[in-house]
A and B are shown apart, each in its own frame.
Chain A
């Protein structure tokens, strides 16, 4: 199978690592070879968290600039920061809800105009899907389910060779019991939203 490279970026605490884990476990369950790499230096202290997931053929664990097939951004400014991982054939899925860093919260730095920047990005990649993952997660029962909403959106694009049902099974197996129902709801709502944007 030709390699599919998925780059996931988020802020510490948003559940990036778990989302990548579920994606990877789903691939294993589907019999697809998978390699993943994470960078979470100081995640709990407000830093950036990156995961790279490579499905299919290949040996390396990393994604170089311009080589991501999908960029999944849990926070809009982090999506922009990681944009160089994309090429004109990439699909970008981004949460639209900002989580400004502390320096912005204190007025020492500016948070950029996101809608404009995302519009620019949209014109340079194959497809940009925007969703309010926080709203989806909250409606599903917990703001912590942003990661599952994002993962649902990824599944909804149809770019992955794994069935949504398999994702659901893995979410049941690999996420905390008391969150399973909420996670599944968020996943499905995220999937619907991405599915609706397909033409």
Chain B
């Protein structure tokens, strides 16, 4: 049985923040969940996926976040308890649906988890999703701890049901990927069937309908604001003339800092957990008792602006600061020292940070840049494209493991902004330069956002080659399925969608599919496409070696070795493909047999045929 289905009430368990969120949803009786994987949110979906295999919980990996939200919206409209989870940039994709879903509202409940990534541990930007709550007019909750993440999730379902609105549960990486002790509550039985009541003049958002819906949303926001003002998720602690207002994970830093600086007697802390609509009256009465107030929040001065506005309306002129010079930065994530320092500066307390050991005289430690794995088929495709175009072509790329192809020696990646934008920008590059453009996109990303820009390119007669790097899974986030992935080995009978057929269906007239580990054939195919004017597509199809290893019937291939007598040490193998299974032993190139997957790419690059499979032992 999945550990999150444990019925033992009051049992204490160590959980990852994302597991706690999934457990909270189960305790609330979630019946329908959907997601597109994205760090730091991925493990929420992973729990639902596993649980859906052993219960009647419906879960699906949708092709993108907008589709996830739309799926959940449909189910919620039938009265089900639903959840969608995504990373911050995923909400950009889903936002189109979200803005109007706020107008229609929902029956049942819908909790939208959005995981922000301050410091961009694994994201293309560190946007602050809290603005989406303001933009859409939806209630937002922000947990401060892993334990609270579970409780708040459960609460969010009830709130959503009461207000008949989607509720945003906003986290940051340090909640999603932290672990803490969680006390189990009772599980609520799932209701997996509902019914849809037709009501087109309230649900079909043509202008005349929406004109009535917008005022209704504002009424719901008023109701939500009075709930926020009373909410026990917004709590103050301590007494004193100094105030600190904080949210989410920042509370932990503030609480520890106040204790460690020994100023608990002088400081009142207001933790805002129900942060949109902004609990204005509550904040005003908090401000009333303070001489000065510091706002501690990662990211943008979202809370600070709201506090300023609240103070102004109450006619309060006390100093309120946060994202000021010498206090908090709008960049990256907090750490305990940053917060202690800002508090000590603002309130004028002596603070000597712990002295780290001195390291300037230590040798510089070599970096460990991430690399495409040994046996990764993308390396083979990139090497083949480089063989044909070198540095001459422009290479827009996309989001996934294959983004790592930007590193030398492959250097395949010149522009990257968003899922699907590799295809979308390719036409712009070729139109503007007249140069050859080769765009890259992974298979999961292709289904996420690659189809529409490809149709656009065909229609508008753009001239570029698109390479679909199809490794049969969503590699970067941990091997989640997508419409191209067959899951019959898990007894899940999904009807798979062929990328090649989709490409042809969109009107691409020139398409070649290759196994990139057949190096010469791949180079020939690229050469053939290079001479074609218009949109052409190369589908480079070979399994992700990490995923392949987990499939039934997997047999490890024989690893390769370098036959020293034949090797003339020109190092074409390492210079062209830089597989991490290579190592230098003095001047000799060797292959680490433990890391080599036997893909044979290097063997095809070596002009001396000095790279051979290790002979079988008799």
Contacts and interface: CB of A to CB of B under 8 A. Distances in A.
Interface of A: 11, 21, 24-25, 28, 33-39, 41-42, 44-48, 57-67, 77-78, 80-81, 83-88, 90, 100-107, 109-113, 116-117, 120-121, 124-125
B363 A113 contact: yes
B251 interface: yes
A-side interface mostly: mixed
A146 to B, nearest CB: 14
B518 interface: no
Interface string B160-177: 000000000000001001
B-side interface mostly: loop
Given A83-B357, A105-B580, A113-B363, 8 more contacts: A28-B12, A34-B181, A64-B354, A65-B337, A67-B337, A102-B369, A103-B367, A105-B582
23 contacts: A21-B179, A28-B12, A28-B181, A36-B179, A37-B178, A37-B179, A38-B179, A39-B177, A45-B371, A46-B369, A47-B369, A58-B256, A59-B253, A62-B336, A64-B353, A83-B362, A84-B359, A86-B357, A90-B357, A104-B366, A105-B580, A112-B363, A112-B366
Contact of B355 (A42, A66, A112, A116): A66
A35 B179 contact: yes
Contacts of A28: 12-14, 181
Contact of B373 (A44, A63, A77, A112): A44
A117 B363 contact: yes
A39 B357 contact: no
B386 to A, nearest CB: 18
Contacts of B364: 112
Contacts of B357: 66, 83-84, 86-88, 90, 121, 124-125
Interface in B489-542: none
A120 B361 contact: yes
Contacts of A41: 39, 121-122, 370
Given A25-B14, A39-B121, A81 B365 contact: yes
Contacts of B251: 59
Contacts of A116: 363
B252 interface: yes
B365 A77 contact: yes
A46 B401 CA distance: 13
Which of B362, B574, B582 is packed against the most chain A CB atoms within 10 Å? B362
B578 A106 contact: yes
A90 B13 CA distance: 29
A124 to B, nearest CB: 4
B335 A64 contact: yes
A45 B545 CA distance: 12
Nearest to B341: A64
A42 B363 contact: no
B553 to A, nearest CB: 21
Which of B178, B179, B355 is packed against the most chain A CB atoms within 10 Å? B179
Closest 10 CB pairs of A and B: A112-B363, A66-B354, A42-B370, A66-B356, A105-B583, A64-B337, A59-B252, A60-B252, A36-B179, A109-B366
Contacts of B359: 80, 83-84
A47 B353 contact: no
Contact of B353 (A66, A107, A112, A120): A66
A125 B359 CA distance: 12
B335 A44 contact: no
B368 interface: yes
A28 B179 CA distance: 11
Which of B122, B335, B337, B354 is packed against the most chain A CB atoms within 10 Å? B354
A21 B369 CA distance: 25
B336 A64 contact: yes
B367 A101 contact: yes
Given A66-B353, A84-B359, A106-B574, A60 B366 contact: no
Interface in B395-443: 401, 404
B88 to A, nearest CB: 16
Contacts of A106: 574, 578, 582-584
B192 to A, nearest CB: 33
Contacts of B336: 60, 62-64, 67
B255 interface: yes
A94 to B, nearest CB: 13
B578 A62 contact: no
A183 to B, nearest CB: 18
A33 B181 contact: yes
B402 to A, nearest CB: 11
Nearest to B589: A106
B180 interface: yes
A117 B366 CA distance: 14
Contacts of A121: 357, 362
B145 interface: yes
B47 to A, nearest CB: 16
Given A41-B121, A112-B365, A125-B357, A102 B580 contact: yes
B560 to A, nearest CB: 16
Nearest to B359: A83
Nearest to A42: B370
B603 to A, nearest CB: 18
Which of A46, A58, A104, A112 is packed against the most chain B CB atoms within 10 Å? A46
A59 B255 contact: yes
Contacts of B353: 64-66
Given A39-B177, A87-B355, A107-B584, A24 B369 contact: no
A95 to B, nearest CB: 15
Contact of A65 (B356, B371, B546): B356
Contact of A117 (B252, B253, B362): B362
Contacts of B580: 46, 102, 105
A111 B366 contact: yes
Contacts of A120: 361-362
A46 B404 CA distance: 12
Nearest to B372: A45
Given A34-B14, A112-B364, A47 B574 contact: no
